[in-house]
Structure 1
Amino acid sequence: MKTVKAEDLPYRRGVGIMLLNAAGEVFVGRRIDQTVESWQMPQGGVDKGEADEEAAMRELGEEVGTDKAEIIGRLPGDFAYDLPPHLLGVALHGKYRGQKQSWFVLRFLGQDSDIDLTRHEPEFAEWRWAKVDELLDLIVPFKREIYAEIVAAYKSWSLAR
């Protein structure tokens, strides 16, 4: 079997979504395909010819099952993470070393009952609202560094508003 090296693979272009409810809590979902207890914010790839904002709203519909939200900001810069060695050549269709993402902050405009994880092919087994400061304790370990960067950027962004 051929060994896959991270440096031989590109990053997948993606978007991430920090969906906030009226209390300032963040939507997190527990991934359906994980054996460990891990939660994450919605994220996904950007299709060819698709603007990042369009991708964020599409991913919101696909993963959260609602369109009842509005983009209120984009965190500055891009955020990248690498897959751990055991997932190289396996995750992300085996074609990428990780993802480089633009992150958007969205305000949820609906009710909890408007969230439908089964509207499309489910990626999350369950969901909940979490405090921003809980995120690093909930996330799968290999994404903790990028989440620390996202949380710090969000806190700076929200203070500047």
Structure 2
Amino acid sequence: MYKVFVNDKPFFLTNQVVKETDFQLFLLESVDIKQIIVKMFQNKIQKAFLYHPDEKEIMSKLKEKIPVVKAGGGLVYNKKGEVLFIFRNGKWDLPKGGIEKGEVIEETAIREVEEETGVSGLKITSKLQKTYHVFKRNGRYKLKVTHWFEMKTNFEGIPHGQAEEGIEKVAWLNPAEIKEALNNSYENIKLLFEQEKILQ
């Protein structure tokens, strides 16, 4: 099952039909995906399930219906075990950005973290899960697929936010501060921390 966020509200791609009542179920094959996205942006749908019988096909079916943008980002630890966060648009987030021509996704992730935070000396230690969210640009809805990587760095300088990307603050947060920051973050960022069990 995949979880895709539209304005922090989830729709699930599933090959299971569940008898529940607090969401709407649609057939992925025949649904007008744009209509669902618009209703989610308008708060008319809080949660939806898109059903397709073949789990292997499910994500490619969605990608046939909506243009995809690929991005890379980092969950970066320093020597003290703190995690690198950025603050923009009034929320805490992790550094990430779109892939450029000729790059492999690991290069994208490292470049974006460096550009958005000024932190260098990054080493990828493992591949994390991908997250999915829908956004609107120039009147069109797109699906952003972000590939996340755990990184480590011995960087000891002062991180600084990339102003042209609207980043107001960059901070190293310890586990207690991370918990606090996640109260004012995005659902797919929370998902990463749930999976990494950092805060257990």
Give the TM-score, by structure 1 length. 0.70
Answer with 1 or 2: which has the greater Rg: 2
2:158 aligned with 1:105: no
Pick from 94, 98, 101: which aligns with 1:45?
A: 98
Residue in 2 that maps onto 1:152: 194
Residue in 2 that maps onto 1:55: 108
Secondary structure of the 2:179 match is helix
Pick from 114, 118, 137: which aligns with 2:183?
A: 137
**Residues 123, 17 of structure 1: alpha-carbon distance in 2 compared, 3 angstrom cutoff:** farther
Shift in Å, 1:95: 4.8
2:169 aligned with 1:126: yes
**Residues 26, 81 of structure 1: alpha-carbon distance in 2 compared, 3 angstrom cutoff:** same
Task: Give, in whole Å, the separation in 1 of the partners of 2:195 and 2:93.
Answer: 17
User: Is the CA contact 1:70–1:109 (under 8 Å) kept in the aligned structure 2?
Assistant: no
Residue in 2 that maps onto 1:72: 125
Secondary structure of the 2:151 match is strand
2:160 aligned with 1:116: yes
Shift in Å, 1:107: 0.9
- 1:8-55 deviation digits (Å, cap 9, x = unpaired): 532311112111122222111111xx2xx2111101011122101110
Higher helix share: 1
2:125 aligned with 1:81: no
Secondary structure of the 1:78 match is strand
Task: Give, in whole Å, the separation in 1 of the partners of 2:81 and 2:94.
Answer: 14
- 1:94-144 deviation digits (Å, cap 9, x = unpaired): 55424111101111211142x2335x74531112222343442131xxx31
Secondary structure of the 1:12 match is strand
**Residues 95, 58 of structure 1: alpha-carbon distance in 2 compared, 3 angstrom cutoff:** farther
Determine which structure has greater relative contact order: mean sequence separation of CA pairs < 8 Å that are 6+ residues apart, divided by chain length. Answer: 1
Higher strand share: 2
Task: Give, in whole Å, the separation in 2 of the partners of 1:96 and 1:13.
Answer: 14
Give the TM-score, by structure 2 length. 0.58
Where does the alignment leave 5 or more consecutive residues of structure 1 unmatched? none
